[in-house]
Amino acid sequence: MGFPRRTGVLIAMAAVGVFAGTVSCAQNQSPVGDAHRGKELSNTCLGCHGIPGYKNAYPNYRVPKLEGQHPEYLVIALQGYRSGERSHITMHSQASSLSDQDMADIAAYFSGEPLKADAKPQGKAPAAAQVCVACHGANGVGITPQYPSLAGQHADYLARSLTEYKKGGRKNPVMATFASQLNEAQMEELAAYYAQQLPALKTEERPNTRLSAEH
């Protein structure tokens, strides 16, 4: 299913409007992250995000890769879990215990070196992706630090995220509008496309461990 040009333009314009406030807020209020302190705070986070292929118990999908993500976006995501804008009981519990400085520090540690867009998208983009590029780029690398990079992310996680936006588990109005127009097959097609893009996000592996859900 394609999207009318007017629909894509309106969603793109809405994205600029919605995130302009987010960017301004982040620039004015977000503390500078300390990756060294973030590493010290990350033991609990690494219990899920530090194991390649580790899956959320229910619904069953792989937890997101964080290495290479924009740290600013990771802070926004954590704030969303803390406020309830994103519905996930474990993440809400974890984020509720964190200060803004804690979030910035953890984000700085997990993000490492944020991805930079490659010039050559992998494969043929689904029709629905024409709307996605306005924020997530042709390669799945967020065009500003406040937009998430999708390149190389687990496909099942991306599909689950779209489902959450559609059903209201995540309350971003731009993504909710977009996701409401997608069926399950289209979500999976989009997720598979962005999962194969390069350069790819990675899992920040726990030190001194051989644990992996993929072996």
How confident is the model at residue 214, as a pLDDT?
A: 47
- Range 32-195: architecture per CATH: Orthogonal Bundle (1.10)
Please write down the HEC assignment for all residues of 56-73. Answer: ECCCCEECCCCECCCHHH
Give pLDDT tens digits for 90-141.
999 999 999 999 999 999 999 999 999 988 899 999 999 999 999 999 999 9
Q: Which residue in 92, 68, 33, 41 sits closest to 204, CA to CA?
A: 68
What are the residue boundaries of the structural domains of the chain, listed by start? 32-195
Looking at the predicted structure, is the pLDDT value of residue 210 above 50? no
Give pLDDT tens digits for 28-53.
467 999 999 999 999 999 999 999 99
How confident is the model at residue 30, as a pLDDT?
A: 76
Give pLDDT tens digits for 43-89.
999 999 999 999 999 899 999 999 999 999 999 999 999 999 999 99
Whole-model pTM? 0.85
59 cis-preceded (ω within 30 degrees of 0) = yes
CB 176 within 8 A of CB 130: no
Radius of gyration, alpha carbons of the chain: 17
